[in-house]
Structure 1
Amino acid sequence: MARAVTTMEDSAADRLEAIEIELILQALFQRFHYDFRGYSRASVTRRLRQLRDKLGYRTLSAMLEALLHDPSIGPQVVSYLTVQVSEMFRDPSYFRALREHVVPHLRTYPSLKVWVAGCSSGEEFYSLAILFREEGLEQRTMFYATDINAGALEAASAGVYNLDRIRGFTENHQQSGGRSSLSDYYTAAYGKASFDRSLRERVVFADHSLVTDAVFGEMHLISCRNVLIYFDNSLQDRTIGLFSDSLIRKGFLGLGSKESLRFSAHADAFQDFVLEERIYQKQDH
């Protein structure tokens, strides 16, 4: 009997928490114009619990009250919900596949547009910028690195990372088929590595929401890795449709290692290109 009562209490608490989370997401949308309602509830729940504890609120309802009445809380919540853990040349085999299989196709174009969607603090953009420089494509390429997290975009545009991360970045770069030393691209001082300003000469860092914003150009390559895993099925479909509309015919889309087009309503718009690395090509029709 005690177990049944405990189960009922847990169930009631879960329902209450679900209501709190829905209200927080509505508050973010109505008050701050950030729409997280299509994000995976499991991910949102985990992050909001962590933020509640970090900020010292007893309940999510208390955090909701603060969100509604203290404008400074909003950016903290948005930042916590969108922060992505990344590294340069993450999953080196993905970048090797770009280098060996996608770059030969990109060489045939006189000019290129590359979109790094959900760029977070910039590690993937710098990885692609270095790869394109090594392959002789940088000067014909315009990069667009977008995110909804203003703090992340600021960090990306600065291009400064803790020096203790560089060893991992360097190993990844080598495994990706790097044609130079990563140390050619940064200077180190005071425990930080600052990446060469020249890598940012051909990039636009911009606020863009995959949830609400529209197509803004015709891209030859879109790299959006480890972002879709935070979306529910409906928002994943919207995003894949957005990418399809944003790519030129026979353009390329790269996703994260745990992401796929397999169950997307827009899967027919693409064909597998390097499937094991989640690289797809838009159909030529």
Structure 2
Amino acid sequence: MARFEGTDSYIATEGLAVAVNAAVALGRPLLVKGEPGTGKTELARQISAALGAPLIEWHVKSTTRAAQGLYEYDAVNRLRDSQLGEARTSDVANYIRPGKLWEALAADERVVLLIDEIDKADIEFPNDLLQELDRMEFHVYETGETVRARHRPVVVITSNDEKELPDAFLRRCFFHYIPFPDEATLRRIVEAHHPGVKDAVLEAALERFFELRETPGLKKKPSTSEMLDWLRLILAEDLAPADLRARGGDALPPLHGALLKTEADLHLFERLAFMDRGTRR
């Protein structure tokens, strides 16, 4: 069986690779947490590419119900068809719409199922999937059939920790927290996405990025994905290393809109710049 070690475009730390392979070996869902922008959703896509397994994505919203991942019975459409005398109403299966979990279980080959941002849904959402994810089967009451996994899917579940997940659900998962990468790892990530970037530019960009990220009082720290966006703009504008370094009391980096996403953080840096100018007088 193929093992996940990362891909050319996705740098996986040793701990992350161990977590993915352990979850696959155990047949348990991999629950991945970490601050936004650390590559949780992208991880599932890269596992799919690395293992050569098709990807099925289930993006959870605040209104999503667990049952929708199994199937939905369109009773309204069936009633309308019966009023029109449609022959297809005699078979209730015509009004059953398979959900993402059904698709994953019924697939002819092993797939990767992404359940993205599970913490957005109601607190009962994970509880309602306990048995289905554990046994990899469920019952369709309207037709009397049982849907069972032909090939146990690799399940990746992401969470931004907006809600606590139930202990019974956590017990059934293999857990991994993706920490924000250190400078060496972030350098590898950047080089994977922007090969050939000049060392001097990358060094200045990383230095300024970590200075900004470690500023006390910052409400939303810039993420890995925002660093990649910022560097893309730097390369597009052909900025020099000197352009990226703070100078003359300028606390804001160039093209800072790629990094700072709240008004409070902008005001914070404006105050820092004002204070810095005051100390220089």
What's the TM-score once normalised by structure 2's chain length?
Answer: 0.25
* Structure of larger gyration radius: 2
Is the strand fraction higher in 1 or 2?
1
Higher RCO (CA-CA < 8 Å; seq separation 6+) = 2
